[in-house]
Each structure stands twice: as C-alpha cells, then as structure tokens.
Amino acid sequence: MNGAAALALTAGTAQAAAVTEKLVIVQNGENIGTVTGTTDGASVSVDYYVDDNGRGPKHKENLTIGAGGIPTSWTVGGTSLMGGSVNESFKWEGGQASWTSQADKGAVPAAKAPLYVVNDDSPWALGVYARALLKAPGNSLPLLPAGTMRLVKVKATTLGAGKDALPLTLYRIEGVNLQPDYVLLDKAGRLFATFGGHYLTIRQGHEKEAHAIQALGAEAERALARDRQKALAHRYTQPVRIRNVHVFDARTGTLGGLSTVIVLRDRITAVMPSDQDPFGGNGAQPDDQVIVDGQGGTLMPGLHDMHSHTTLDSGLFYLAAGVTETRDMGNDNAFLQDMMPRIEAGELAGPRITPNGFLEGRSPYSARFGIIPETVADAVKAVDWYADRGYFQIKIYNSMTPDWVRPIADEAHKRGMTVTGHVPAFDTPDRCIRDGYSEITHINQLMLGWLLKPEEDTRTPLRLTAMARAADLDLNSAPVQATVKLMVDGHIAHDPTAVILERLMLSRAGVTPPGDVDYLDNMPIGYQRYRKRTFVPLKSPADDQAYVKAFGKVLETLKLLHDKGIRLLPGTDDVTGFTVHREMELYTMAGISPAEVLRLSTLSPEEYMGHGDLGTVERGKLADLVLIAGDPTQDIRAVKKPRLVMKGGAIYYPSEIYQSLSIKPFADAPPVTVPKVMEGPGDSLGAPGLFGGGHDDDLGD
C-alpha cells in the first residue's frame, strides 16, 4: 500500500469513528426543535433544542456507553421547559452507581452498571434505552433509581420502496412514564423516530415521511388503547342497582340519606330512598340485576375538566379520576375529529369531549396546532370551519393580532359561538372583553393585565415569570376593580387553571410539590422524578419567596372573583385527572366551601355548556356517575379516591385502570354481585377482574 492510500484509509477510519445523527422535532407539520447526537466510539454527545410557543428544553448531554449498551456515565446541562436550570449526572465506577438530578441524588453498590433513567432527558435517551433493552433477558431491566423498564416489539415495517426502502422496527417502552414511549429503530439499531402526544421526532432528511410515521404511531397507540378499553369497560344489558349510597345533590350542595340508584345502560331509571327500595333489606336482591354495594359512600355526578388538551392516553386517566367530561381547549384538529367518534362509539375509553376551536396568530412564538390564519379574512373563515363542525367556542391564543379579535368574535357570535382564550400579547383583558370575549382563560392571563407594562411580550415565558410581581398586588387597586367590574357587568366567566400555576410557581428541585403529595408515591418512577424539579428560574431566595407569596395572591383572586359572582370553570391544562382534584382543593384553600366547589365541578359546567342531560343524579339523566367512600361536602380530598365510575353505559373500576397503567391503586372497587346467569367471557358480561379480581361474585371484600 502506498503512502497516499494509507493516508486515505487512515482518514476514512477516523471519519467512520465519529458519526453524527440529526433528528428534527415536528409539531403540526412545522419544525420546532432538533436533536443532534455524535457518537465517537463509546462516547456520545447530544445537543437538544426545542422552541415551542416560546418555551422548551435546551440542554447538552454526554454519555459513555458500556457493556450491554448500558451507559456508565451520563451528564445533562442546560435549561428545562420554562427555563429552570438543569445540571444532572450519573456515573458507575468502582462497583458503585451515583447520581444527582433535580429530583434526587444518591449512591448504591452495583456490581455492574444499572440502567439509569435520566430525569431531564431527550428523545435520544429513548434510543439508548431501547438498544440496552434489546440486549437484556426478556427485554426488561431494573432501573436506577427505581422501577423496571420493558421493551415490547410492536411490528416490523418498511419506509419507502425499491432502492429507497428502509426497514424499521417499531417498539414500545413501558414502565417509566404515565404513557408508553414509541421508538422506530433501523437495522443497525439507530434511532429513526420517536413519537407521543402531539410531537414527532424524526431523522433529518425524512421529514416528508412524517405523515406516514405519525399514522403508524397513531395506529399503534390506538391498538393499545382499544385493547385496554375492551379489558376495562364493563357493560351489562341488565339494570345495575347501586345500593347504600348517599346521593350528592349538586343544586343544594347536600348529601341525602341512604338511597338506591338504578341504571340501565347509560340512563338513570330510578333514585329512591333505601327504605323504599323493594330489595333494600334482609339481603334480598333481584336475580337479574348487577348489584353494587356502595357501603355508605357518596354517589355524585361525574367531574369535569374545563381546560383539557385531549390525548389518546388521557381517557383512562380521566375516567379513573372520576372525570367524565372535558372541554378540549385546542388540539390537532384532524386528531380530535378522529378521536371523538371513537370515544362516542365505545371503541376507546374517555370522557365526553366538548371541543373548542383553537386560533393562533403567526409569530416566531406560535403554538403549532389548531389553525394559524395568515390574514384576518382567513381567521374569519377558520371560525366558520369550526362552527360547521359543531365546536362550542373559539379559543384565541398568544400570538393573535389584537385588532383581529373583534372580527373573529363577531363571526363567532354570528355562528352561535362564544369566544375565550389567552389575552394576546400587547393586548389587555379589558380590551379582550370589550372586543367580544365571554371568558378569560388562565388566572395568570387575567392577572398579568394588572402586572405588565404595555410593551412587555407574553408570548415568552414572561407570562409565567412575571407572576412573581403579584406578591405585592393590591386587589383593591383601580385596575383590578375595573376589570372585575367589566367581568361582573358582562357576565364574563373565568377558567383559572390555578393548579398549573401552582405546579410551575411552587416547583422546587428535590421536593414533592404540594399539589402532588397525595398521589405521587403511587406513580411510575419517571413521572415521580419529573414532578420533583424546578420549572421556574430562581436566582435568589427572594425569587423563591416572591413566587410563594404571589401564589397566595392567586388564591385571594379566586375568592374575590367567586364572591363577586363570576362563574369559575375548574380546569387544569393537563390530562391526568389528578390535577382536577387539586384544582378543586385549591378552591377550598381559597375559602370556597367544598359543597360549592363540587357544584362548580359538576352541575355548573353543564349549565354553562347547555347540557341538560348531565350534572345531577336524577331519573332520566345520563348516568355519568362517580362512587367515592367519604363525604366530599366535608372534605374535598375524598374525591381523590373514586371506587367506581360510570360513563356512556360502561362501568370502570379505577383500581383496575391504575393497575393496567403501572400505577398503585388508591382505593378498592366496591363489592359487586353479578347474577350467575350473566357470568361468562367478554367485557359485556362477568364481574371486573381482567387486571385483578377475577370473576368473583363479590369484588372488594
């Protein structure tokens, strides 16, 4: 070999040793971020950048890959979703594994490197996990700091055809987060794509295949959701007799004496005092009905989340929490139009959905879903598109041009819709109300009107961080009182989502947030750690105290609005149901009675949306019902442990749902007796038990 050839070979070998892979993050057809990984032997460096609606994680990672594809070191540095600092590290050496993250830190003896789950991770991490799991016995590995991760092969597929054909394999990663993650690997085991929720991460150069990949992912997610619905929805052709319950009257805010409630499919056919129930005593029971023993608990109408963004996974979480209806405040329109009829038909689990049409303006900070009109004429046409499809309201977002609000609202009113939303950047709540809003979304959007200077831009994280200024806000000041008067005079409603403000403003690294205390220990390890982080930038102890004091002012504002007769619409901007419970609890912390909060969370939304068939437990009403053990009119926290939920003619047992989602249940199912003649295979017969419990005559004893 001559010198030139040797030099060329050496250069080629060096070039091959370092491989750079770039993926792009896509939302609603637009690129919002990148993931760039460079592998040089066992060393990997990753650059992760997301700019979604003015926010998103931005950090760098460095890994060393050891035996079995398991990292022996992993560092992450940068900022998280809302700008909070990230400085995470893991290392295995000398028979010991140690780690430090926002959530926790520790050190444990380890004969070999454990699979560490990164707290502030990126899509790249999913490829690392998948490759390690492929080499593990049973495609399963114990995790540090806790838990177990599993890899499930979903299907092999081919992208493209002929010489451009690219064989890929789709896998599902389970056991760490609330929802499974999906990854596509090529034949070499390299990451080609990940997806979940409304994001898609795909190898650069293949963006034209994004639609095909999203369709593949959607079908995989739907298949899993369909299987879970078949296993968890219990349907009966005969009456279901719920005995020994106290019925919550949402009109009066009181509990009645012991009663029996009878349901046939999806309608309530009887509500009667127990002493008038012909089968109420002496152990007597009809031999052709399903009997539920409420054991003295409370039967109430289903709860609502008046600020949701539906996902394929959200349905079971909502039902397990007793949430039987949501208002979707903005979504990928094609996804939602496909999803809603599937839920209505019983193919997929989920609450009833009332959709709002999302309109955003065009700017570098735009949210990438709903419709982003380029002109005011396009915005008016978008209103008509939503109206033709029966959407309840128009929701306006941060980047909308303030001068477009009035023509949008005029068209919405003409089409029988009202308008809600954020206060667009450089606009004010007062002007939005005058221009046609009938509701303001998010309590920070309302309060920022009293805190910001006219030139400040709320398309950025300022819409959160500026809330620290509320610490010294005078609620008796002229600006506050002027806005409140406008709301009272115009019958303007408010959707506070106070729980999300609490989560962000009071988030602190290594600490369980106050709103998560009652449920977090039951959750998968990845979600537990995700919640124990600082989302807001804190430069000093004074910043910390300002946020704490400011959130106290949020609660005072809630009480002020309620006392003035302004309709509050409990919502969360989340999809788990746990935050619905906390939103309700926050209202009681603000000084609103538990009984009134229950009314706000059951009957009041139905009145607001004109749904006369729901909201109370009465003969002829739809049987969207929740059974809990305690008395929520005395302690609102009782709603956090539903035992049985009915919706759409199906019975769900939260204990079963949580077991299927790798969550430790919070309450047992009530005793249920199914007549022997009705027992048998299939989800329309038999007693609950597909995720534990079997076909016993009495469940919960």
Q: For residue 211, what pLDDT is reported?
A: 86
CATH number of 240-301+616-678: 2.30.40.10
Lowest pLDDT segment from 188-192, 472-476, 529-533, 578-582? 529-533
Tokens of 99: 């780690």
- CA 58 to chain centroid: 22
| Residue given tokens 């950048």 in the structure block | 49
Q: Is 464 within 8 Å of 82 (Cβ atoms)?
A: yes
> What residue segments make up the domains of the chain, in order of their start?
17-231, 240-301+616-678, 303-609
| Listed residue (218, 294, 279) closest to 627, CA to CA | 294
Tell me the average pLDDT across 635-657. Answer: 98
Q: Are strands 30-40 and 43-50 parallel, antiparallel or unpaired?
A: antiparallel
Mean pLDDT (whole number) for 658-682: 83
pLDDT tier at 409, thresholds 50, 70, 90? very high
| pLDDT at residue number 16 | 56
Residue 697 in this model has a pLDDT that exceeds 60: no
How far are the Cα atoms of 79, 213, 516, 568, 648 from residue 264, in angstroms, in the given order? 53, 42, 37, 33, 11
Under CATH, what is the fold of the domain 303-609? TIM Barrel (3.20.20)
Query: Does residue 285 have a pLDDT over 50?
Result: yes
State pLDDT tens for residues 601-611.
999 999 999 99
Three-class SS state of 180: coil
For residue range 7-49, list pLDDT tens digits in order.
333 344 444 578 999 999 988 778 889 999 999 999 999 999 9
* Residue 421 neighbours by CB distance under 10 Å: 28
> Percentage of the chain with pLDDT > 90?
79
C-alpha distances in angstroms, 375 versus 187, 361, 365, 366, 421? 46, 9, 17, 15, 19
In the chain, % of residues over pLDDT 70 = 93
pLDDT confidence of residue 592: 98
Give the whole-angstrom CA distance, residue 110 versus residue 581. 40
Could you tell me the pLDDT band of residue 675, with boundaries at 50, 70 and 90?
A: confident
Share the mean pLDDT of the chain.
91
How much is the average pLDDT of 324-351? 96
Question: What pLDDT is recorded for position 197?
Answer: 55
With a cut of 70, say whether residue 694 has pLDDT above it: no
Q: Are 199 and 132 in contact (CB under 8 A)?
A: no
Residue-wise pLDDT for 215-260, tens only, equals 898 899 999 999 999 999 999 999 999 999 999 999 999 999 999 9
Residue reference for tokens 């007796």: 673
Instruction: Please compute the mean of the pLDDT values over residues 602-624 and round it to a whole number.
Output: 97
For position 196, what pLDDT does the model report?
66
Is residue 286's pLDDT more than 90?
no
- Sequence-distant (6+) residues with CB within 8 A of 301 are 248, 250, 324, 602, 603, 614, 615, 616, 617, 624, 625, 626
Beta bridge partners of residue 300, listed in sequence order: 626
Q: List residues bridging with 86 in a β-sheet.
A: 78
Count how many residues are written for the chain.
701
pLDDT of residue 282: 59
3-state helix, strand, coil split of the chain in percent (to 5) is 35, 30, 35
What pLDDT is attached to residue 678?
A: 56
